[in-house]
Amino acid sequence: MSHNTITAVDLTIDLINRDSVTPQDKGCQERIAELLEEVGFTAEYLPFEEVQNLWIRKGTQAPLVVFAGHTDVVPTGPIERWDTPPFTATIKEDGYLYGRGAADMKTGVAAFTIACREFVQEYPQHKGSIALLITSDEEGPSINGTVKVCETLEKRGEQLDYCIVGEPTSDKIFGDTIKNGRRGSLTGTLTIKGKQGHVAYPEKVRNPIHLGAAAIAELVATTWDNGNDYFPATSFQISNYHSGTGATNVVPYAAQLIFNFRFSTESTPNSLKQKVHAILDKYQLDYDLEWVLGGSPFLTEKGKLTDIVQEAIFEQIGVHASLSTTGGTSDGRFIAKICPQILEFGPINATIHQVNECVAVNDITTLKNIYKRSLEKLLLSE
């Protein structure tokens, strides 16, 4: 097949057929670079330890429009539960393309790669610059991927103006949701200490499960903030609770629970930590508490980028996309530190990380057209 006629569907199939389970890339980034170097992009590989990263750019002038995404995918799970081989892209009679990464997010990567390629071929004298930031570490620890690339770009003074992340954001129908921000994630591992002993002699023990019960109830009932126009209220959820010695007649020494905040811009990591410690101290608990900040919240308020992408979606499919900050974290949290306007938009997310992950074939081409139209609005009207 001639490279000049490659479609977004073709490239999506090519990428799915590569078993790039995180942090592997399996040549995906080289394929993307090959297609874009043919139309004037300059590729730079930025590996950090086992992670492959690609920064590929055309142009030196502002504004710089960046598309970001990842080529790594989550493991398949039990292969026998798949109707078709997960790393053999399969188009069925129902009009869907099946394979691991179909929705998250090889379709998004393929669509914006071909959108950039077609845009440059059609408008070789366009203003501004275009770049792609691709990692193979989004589904893993996210330590040596986008965050390291962003640090590298910041150190050498590269200024990003707009960024579209190709994450699968659509909910009920394709095009209905744009993520213009994400909540922060803060995890705490709490160990409440007591005194171990025989259950028949309660006067000789201090049961950490009992001691922590009132404090835990208050943590669950606390309103941390009320959110704002863009974010729902901060949520507190306990994901794990461990205690016991394995015997039915022994009061354990300690109880451990792991909890997580998904927090809005109305709270900060420090404000949440202070409130938690105040509640625990109120009940005079003997405890250890370790914190891990998974990511801070970021927000792009309604403005030029959100308007343009909403317009492009409506022009292509007649859908009015809503702005949302729900869901988990993404690499957008790293890019937001060096880019003033960033959003996420991509295919329907109903099957991400599941067996028989799929995307509607027609949506792949439409997504490419939306990305291309967004480029036209950003770089031809400047």
Amino acid residing at 105: M
- Looking up tokens 């869907």, which residue turns up? 96
With both helix axes pointing from N to C terminus, report the angle between 8-16 and 361-379 in degrees, rounded to the nearest 10. Answer: 120
Burial per residue of 78-98, b for 16 or more beta-carbon CB atoms within 10 angstroms, e otherwise = eeeebeeebbebbeeeeebbb
Closest to 345 measured CA to CA, from 105, 113, 102: 105
What phi and psi values does residue 58 have, to the nearest 5 degrees? -130, 125
Residues 6+ apart with CB under 8 A from 382: 63, 127, 128
14 known member of a binding site: no
Please count the CA atoms within 13 angstroms of the CA of 153 that sit on its side-chain side.
Answer: 28
What residues are annotated to the active site?
Answer: 72, 138
What phi and psi values does residue 233 have, to the nearest 5 degrees? -60, 150
Distance in angstroms (rounded) separating the CA atoms of residues 154 and 337: 9
122 known member of a binding site: no
Q: Are 100 and 76 spatial neighbours (Cβ–Cβ below 8 Å)?
A: yes
104 known member of a binding site: yes
Task: Let me know how many helices (H) and strands (E) the chain has, helices first.
Answer: 9, 19
Q: Are 144 and 50 spatial neighbours (Cβ–Cβ below 8 Å)?
A: yes
For residue 182, the tally of other CB atoms under 10 A from its CB is 28
Length in residues, the chain = 382
Question: In the chain, helix, strand, coil percent, each to 5?
Answer: 30, 25, 40
Tokens of 13: 């199939």
CA distances from 283 to 191, 206, 213 (A): 14, 14, 10
Tokens of 9: 């569907």
CA angle 21, 24, 28 (to 5 degrees): 100
242 known member of a binding site: no
- Where is the binding site, in residues? 70, 104, 139, 167, 353
**Binding annotation for Zn(2+):** 70, 104, 139, 167, 353
